[in-house]
Structure 1
Amino acid sequence: MNIRAEHPPQDPAGRWFRRLAPRPAACLTLVCVPHAGAGTAAFGPWADLLPPEIEPVAVRLPGRESRLRDPVPSDWPALAQEFSLALERWITGPYLLFGHSMGAMLVYEAVVRGLARPPVRVLLSGCRAPHVPRALPAIHDLPTERFRAELGRLAGTPGAVIAAPRLMALLEPSLRADIRLAETWSRPAGAADVLPVPATVFAGLDDAVAPPAAVSAWRSLAPHGFRRRQVGGGHFFPYERAPEFLGLLNDELALCLGTPRRSHPS
């Protein structure tokens, strides 16, 4: 078993993870970190579509779902340290780290800071390399109405949520905190830490937030192995183009398991 099955609810490390499809005989755990503002539900539809040798585990970041009252750390070192401690305590066997957008940033920050048991590989989706400037203007410090309008334009937050004043009043602080972390994330060119493990990146062909060239720039930080895969769609291609994306993700998982299917690295 690759994740500790039982933990007291008050244990701060155990609160980080949700087992989407318990598979005690799995060879690898796929630990999935969501984008800014999202929770474990983002990965729920994937559970039955992954190989049986893979156990999917979703990360529950501070400030959402059952952790709604937990403050989002205000800086990357604090968030990465908390996440790393939870990983080392609760993920017990070989694992992969997947992250989309801000989730990929957290994967990088945790891995380059050094983990006692690093992942077999990192899978970075919809995320510019840290030395590449962001492609769009920042929105995290906009006044409320403009901030909410930009959330709708970027399509990461459902319109029904934005249109619910009470719900948005509850969610907006954590959304702003997440987006601030994502928008201020950077490492100087030539000084970004290289990944200590192989990497695969996924890019959306029409992604305005993390354009394909900005995602491909991860190659210079992946000396232990690099693969790139491109998917149609915009920034939320893993969910908007789920069949296409999951086909490529399953190819990656098969390669990690040593049973290649139809790999198309580019």
Structure 2
Amino acid sequence: MSGGRPAGERATNGTARPAPGRWFHRPLPRPDARLRLVCVPHAGAGAAVFRPWAERLAPDVELVAVRLPGRESRLREPGRESRLREPPARHWPTLAQDLAAALDDQVPAPYVLFGHSMGAMLVYETVRRPLARPPEKVLLSGCRAPHVPRALPAIHALPPERFLAELGRLAATPAAVLARPALMELLEPVLRADIRLAETWHHPAPDPLPVPATVFWGTTDDVAPPDAVAAWRHLAPHGFGARPVEGGHFFPFSPEDGTGHLLHLLDDETAPAATRRPRGSDRA
């Protein structure tokens, strides 16, 4: 495809850019799909968190999960190397530029970009830069608008014991993982780097979104409260929708709370315009 950078081009920090093919995982390939739903994970997570969604989307929508640097040791595919040995991202411009290059190189139009929490921040940072093929829309989940201060104290600079104690709440890290010191020694640099990016992300005078946006929030989310998420409306001159979902900050990945409801809403958001269900009071 045209529009991508050569695999050997160097990033702005002087390191070699990863090959664009490392950026995406397609758990259920649908080469003839009408639309791609490109999903960006939250802090500390990998593409695997979206794998259960693939079979639950409409049959003409292909799920494309983003593989961020510093993770994904299990998602082995032909031509796809693990990104586990890559350093985690530490600067928004480099991360966004590299994802933009990969989208231009690997994802055909039309597509929709979904991101949860830090993933939604990366969606914003990516689409505010020039793209050869912009998404049809962006879907921003569990994420405050860029001009809204964070709701909770920062944890990324805490000493190790206190940092680990906060991870279960802020990064959905299972207790079984936290209890394994060797595994946490491997994961902690990625978690700290991701959470630092998320906690220091702020634009007092943000650029407007260049495409329509729909936001989703958890009704009991204390990380990204409803008012903080709804503030995206001021940055969406091309169209804005708001969808509350039952649950806390990780409602997209909680079957007992919001996963099923969210997937139903994603079907609506990715349906062709001619067949899209009417939207009533859930539009803000």
- Shared fold (TM-score greater than 0.5)? yes
Asked if residue 212 in structure 1 is aligned to residue 229 in structure 2, the reply is: no
CA distance in 1, matches of 2:264, 2:115: 17
- Measured against aligned partners, the alpha-carbon deviations of 1:68-125 in whole angstroms (never above 9, x if no partner) come to 1111222111111111111111112211000000000000000001211100000000
Asked if residue 127 in structure 1 is aligned to residue 134 in structure 2, the reply is: no
CA distance in 1, matches of 2:41, 2:167: 16
For 1:33-52, list aligned pairs within 5 A.
33-52=40-59
Q: What's the RMSD between the two structures over aligned residues?
A: 1.8
1:235 is aligned to 249
Contact residue 36 and residue 61 of structure 2 kept, 8 A: yes
1:162 Cα offset (Å): 0.8
CA distance in 1, matches of 2:230, 2:196: 23
1:261 Cα offset (Å): 3.0
Structure 1 residues 140, 53: closer, same or farther in 2, change over 3 A? same
Contact residue 151 and residue 224 of structure 2 kept, 8 A: yes
1:87 is aligned to 103
Asked if residue 19 in structure 1 is aligned to residue 26 in structure 2, the reply is: yes
Contact residue 144 and residue 231 of structure 2 kept, 8 A: yes
CA distance in 1, matches of 2:221, 2:18: 38
Q: TM-score, normalised by structure 2?
A: 0.87
Secondary structure, counterpart of 1:217 in structure 2: helix
Asked if residue 30 in structure 1 is aligned to residue 37 in structure 2, the reply is: yes
CA distance in 1, matches of 2:277, 2:210: 26
Pick aligned residue for 1:249 from 258, 263, 266: 266
1:155 Cα offset (Å): 5.5
Amino acid at match of 1:90: Q
CA distance in 1, matches of 2:169, 2:197: 19
Asked if residue 265 in structure 1 is aligned to residue 283 in structure 2, the reply is: yes
Identity of aligned residues (%): 66
User: 5+ unaligned residues in a row in structure 1: which ranges?
Assistant: 2-6
Amino acid at match of 2:108: T
Asked if residue 198 in structure 1 is aligned to residue 212 in structure 2, the reply is: yes
- Measured against aligned partners, the alpha-carbon deviations of 1:146-190 in whole angstroms (never above 9, x if no partner) come to 0000002336111111111000000100110000000000001xx
1:152 is aligned to 168
Task: Kindly tell me the number of residue pairs found equivalent between the two proteins.
Answer: 257
1:257 Cα offset (Å): 4.8
1:252 Cα offset (Å): 1.3
1:222 is aligned to 236
Contact residue 212 and residue 236 of structure 2 kept, 8 A: yes
- Measured against aligned partners, the alpha-carbon deviations of 1:3-50 in whole angstroms (never above 9, x if no partner) come to xxxx9xx96110000012111221110000000010111101101110
Which has the larger helix fraction? 1
- Measured against aligned partners, the alpha-carbon deviations of 1:220-261 in whole angstroms (never above 9, x if no partner) come to 00000000000010000101121121111212112x553213
Q: TM-score, normalised by structure 1?
A: 0.93
CA distance in 1, matches of 2:262, 2:37: 15
Contact residue 30 and residue 96 of structure 1 kept, 8 A: yes
1:137 Cα offset (Å): 0.3
Contact residue 251 and residue 262 of structure 1 kept, 8 A: no
1:118 is aligned to 134
